[in-house]
Structure 1
Amino acid sequence: MSATTTPTQDTSSRQGGIETRSIDYVPENERHGRVADQGPFWFLGNFQFFTIAIGFVGPSMGLSLGYTALAGVIGILFGTLFMAFHASQGAELGLPQMIQSRAQFGYRGVSLVLIGTLVTFIGFNVVDTVLLSAGLNGIFGWNITAVTIGMAIIAALFAIYGHDCLHTIFKLCFYVSLPLYIILTGAILTGHAGGSAPTIVGFSWVAFIGQIAASASYNITYAPYVSDYSRYLPRNTRPASIIMAVMFGASSSAIWLITLGAWLATRLGASDGLVALHQAGDSVFPGFGSIVSLASVVALIATMGLNAYSCMLTILTGIDSFRPLNPTRSARILTVIAVAAIWTGLSLKCPSDAIGLLFATLTVMLYLLVPWTAVNLVDYFLVRKGRYAITNLFMPGGGIYGMWQSRGLLAYAIGFIVTIPFAVLPDIYTGPIAKMLGGVDIGWLVGLIVSGSVYALLSRSLDLKAEETAIAKSEAELKSMQVAVPTEASAVPVMDDVWK
């Protein structure tokens, strides 16, 4: 490694306002994040009308307001627990989540898992776009195609400018949205938001478990990229502080708005979250519905930018797994543009059945991601206990982690396969065991338990002592390396020096 002058954080992590880091390691001199920002960031991530639509799932299956709210609380707390534990990995390792997953699945093996995460990011943006364009068309009569394209451009710009831009936008949206929803919720509690006697008062285990699954999957699907937004925190940040900040932020807003969505569905007969939000808001005072609905639209577009950003990291990780990639600014911009074009095209071809599309998408995401999150967390907290040779994760040969890790891949495959007999995709597929259970979907829970248990069992043969030499060497290299200012020609010159 060549010694160079250590630059300031501003010059090394951003060029012209655009973040230069992507799938590479974030050196400690560039760590400028704060734990205090994590809670509001993830609070806002769920503080828009997409979350309200999650509260429609139970009522659409005949579940009452109270039971929908209870199921939402159970599901959100369960799903957020996994998401929050992943957040602590970003500060400790300074890496995007999928780069760290090379330790469990191998340098190239991780590409198989990347397919599931790629489907998640694009799927979320497709559903977001369908919900937004249909809602804005229903309220203001705006052209669906124009709205779809315009939102994609704005979200893509957020993703291109990257980490700091997203944190800033989310913070601004948080301060604008919070008082609006407080006013609306207060109006609901005092009977000033319209509505009638509940039209849905039933209960069924199928609907109750379905609402739990939809709510759990909502925050579990953040797991593949939550550490992407904590990797700029100082390495000595206490894991407990990150976990609690993310847990409180992501769960509190989701519980709030899922319950609000259940009220809109059972009291207003709502089937479109944005239209219902507008209707309830205008009952408070004329024009308030437009204000609160547009604020929610901006928050959701910001979340689409977040999805696009992590989708870019996922794609670059996949390419780098087979052909060593220099993650320049041009690479990130072109990748984001390509991703935006894909979700825009898909969105324009999607049906307008928002609730059905939403529920099916969340369910598929849950089946794909649960085995991965189980393997990753078991490895990080129980097997390797946060001890990794970071530089080996960038070695084209895989270093001590190899090109393909059979333990992780086998555990993931088994966890996914055992899900199938328990799976329920309404109007598409119901597994034989799910039929025996009356259509109750516990496939995601089975996949979680099985994949984590299989990985823990297979890891008993892992020689962790043999990894200590590589870990010690990696730590010494990371401490000694002086970070050069990234340029268009070379975004990660020092990491290249490390593994060469």
Structure 2
Amino acid sequence: MTRERIGADEFVDVSTQPETRGIEVIGDAERHGRARDLFFVWAAPGVSILNFTIGATLILLGLEIWQAVAVILVAALLWVFPGIIAASGPASGTSGSVVTRAMYGIIGNKLFVAFVGWFIGAVFLALTWLASSFMGADLLRRVGLSDPVWVPIGVTIVVSAVTIAVAIFGHALILRIYPVMAVLLFVIFVGVSLFILPTVNWGYTAAHPLSGIALWSAITVGFTILASSPLSFINSPDLARYLPRSTKPSHIAAATALGGALPFVVFTIVGVLLATGLKSGAFSAGIDVALFDLLPGWMGPLLVIGVIVNTIALNAMTAYSSSMSLQAIGFKLKRIPAAIIVGVVGTALTIYLVLSSSLLEAANLLLQFLVVVSGPAMAIFVVDVIRRRNVYDGLDLFDDRRGGRFWYTGGWSIPGITALAIGGIATALCLSTDVWTGALSAAIGHIDLSVPVGMTVSALLYALLSRTRLGKEGRL
């Protein structure tokens, strides 16, 4: 195995041409950028109507305003995890879906990427396209286009086409347009927030204040929903991998974490405040409809534009990473055709959800179930970065021969696979949703400890097993 085999043909990372590079290792001579560029890459997807939706959910769960804000602030701390693993991108010069070969083995990683990478990618593509489909369709309904089936499907197809186009142009275009998108989104959503503030019931108290087990159940369920966002971004190395190898990991972590956390905190709190001024019937109609009713006529179209821009920002990033996941699985595809396949799959799932769900129902259910895989996977990745001191060699990661460094036991890393599986089971046992309550959660009054328990179990198992013969690497 030589470095020439894993490097790409000469490629210039510019925003005016599609990015043909996929998971190939980026040479030091081709590295560019600064850690602070990542702040806007993560801020643009974070200025989202989903934050309004999740914030409103905390009030629906029965929390007081101060309790909801406290849960949001604690959940925001989890953004440090995508920041920590992002540094593995520049260290290795390749995508996170290849770096995880160090955790799961050459063959085991294919299963991990196929399930975790695709599952998370497909859910987030569908969930955010769903938001723009509902709101775009509602706006068109107000001007006379009211077909309940074809209008949202049409909005979905148009938005998804633009999203995949951004993913095809790739890294350089993302770096160039995301700062503009972040500023535009911030202005629109601050404007929306200003119209929400007069409706806020600052003296709000829950109709039936919670205490004891019921209170802790609501707090922990809300925390799980909130935690699913930062824990799902296991793709953070993909956006950082072009940075020079000398870039400080602490700077990468700070830019990534702050870019994701700040809009997450601000606009989720706005969602909490929004919910205090709405009647219970407004929730059944949907947060998107409730927002339209609060805003003056001229502001409604601006909000839809904001939702669509945010959708493109989040899903272009997701589709970009998912296209490289297909390559990491082993499909003989260039990155651009892979991105198109991702778009087709995500569009189909979105159309299904458009015809069968409300935004609030889909968001809460999917976000809770995401942590079953995303929490343990994130914990394992963070432990691996720390124990290796962020040292990853691209040549070793691409050496897929029997006996290679990351071949482990028949191509499988027993520590990684075991920690992921048992951590996922522990998460499921502690999860509490409307359609599934784990045995441990039920035993303690529907308190949802899925995130801390699942991540702790996975982290400890992986750290301990990696120190045994089961974690022995080849050619050391």
TM norm structure 1 = 0.83
Unaligned 5+ segments in structure 2 are 146-150
Aligned to 1:160: 168
Distance 2:397 2:374 in 1: 21
Aligned to 1:481: none
1:301 aligns with 2:312: yes
Going from structure 1 to structure 2, the CA distance change for 1:219 and 1:341 (only over 3 Å counts) comes to same
Going from structure 1 to structure 2, the CA distance change for 1:345 and 1:179 (only over 3 Å counts) comes to closer
Contact in 2 for aligned 1:200/1:266 (Cα 8 Å): no
Going from structure 1 to structure 2, the CA distance change for 1:466 and 1:112 (only over 3 Å counts) comes to closer
Is the partner of 2:25 in helix, strand or coil? Answer: coil
Going from structure 1 to structure 2, the CA distance change for 1:463 and 1:156 (only over 3 Å counts) comes to same
Equivalent of 1:378 in 360, 378, 383: 383
Aligned to 2:221: 210
Aligned to 1:244: 254
Going from structure 1 to structure 2, the CA distance change for 1:2 and 1:68 (only over 3 Å counts) comes to closer
Aligned to 2:289: 275
Equivalent of 2:459 in 440, 447, 452: 452
Aligned to 1:342: 345
Aligned to 2:136: 136
1:401 aligns with 2:406: yes
Contact in 2 for aligned 1:209/1:441 (Cα 8 Å): yes
Is the partner of 1:55 in helix, strand or coil? Answer: helix
Aligned to 1:180: 188
Deviations 1:277-312 (A, max 9, x none): 444442xxx512322331232122221111111111
Aligned to 1:432: 439
CA offset at residue 463 of structure 1?
Answer: 10
Contact in 2 for aligned 1:148/1:347 (Cα 8 Å): yes
Distance 1:2 1:248 in 2: 35
Going from structure 1 to structure 2, the CA distance change for 1:389 and 1:301 (only over 3 Å counts) comes to closer
1:264 aligns with 2:274: yes
Equivalent of 1:229 in 231, 239, 243: 239
AA matched with 2:401:
G
Runs of 4+ in structure 1 deviating by more than 6 angstroms, as ranges, are 6-9, 194-197, 463-467
1:358 aligns with 2:363: yes
Matches within 5 A, 1:91-102: 91-102=90-101
Is the partner of 2:40 in helix, strand or coil? Answer: helix
Contact in 2 for aligned 1:48/1:299 (Cα 8 Å): yes
Equivalent of 1:319 in 327, 330, 343: 330
Going from structure 1 to structure 2, the CA distance change for 1:434 and 1:463 (only over 3 Å counts) comes to closer
1:150 aligns with 2:158: yes
CA offset at residue 198 of structure 1?
Answer: 4.2
Range with greater deviation from structure 2 (196-205 or 64-73): 196-205
Unaligned 5+ segments in structure 1 are 471-500
AA matched with 2:320:
Y
AA matched with 2:122:
I
Contact in 1 for aligned 2:43/2:259 (Cα 8 Å): yes
Is the partner of 1:401 in helix, strand or coil? Answer: coil
Distance 2:59 2:102 in 1: 42
Contact in 1 for aligned 2:46/2:263 (Cα 8 Å): yes
AA matched with 1:39:
F
CA offset at residue 448 of structure 1?
Answer: 0.5
CA offset at residue 251 of structure 1?
Answer: 0.5
Aligned to 1:90: 89
Distance 1:8 1:145 in 2: 39
AA matched with 2:289:
V
1:368 aligns with 2:379: no
CA offset at residue 138 of structure 1?
Answer: 2.0
Deviations 1:232-251 (A, max 9, x none): 11110111111111111111
CA offset at residue 352 of structure 1?
Answer: 2.3
Aligned to 1:420: 428
AA matched with 2:335:
R
1:442 aligns with 2:443: no
CA offset at residue 219 of structure 1?
Answer: 1.0
Is the partner of 1:453 in helix, strand or coil? Answer: helix
Distance 2:289 2:473 in 1: 59
Matches within 5 A, 1:464-475: none
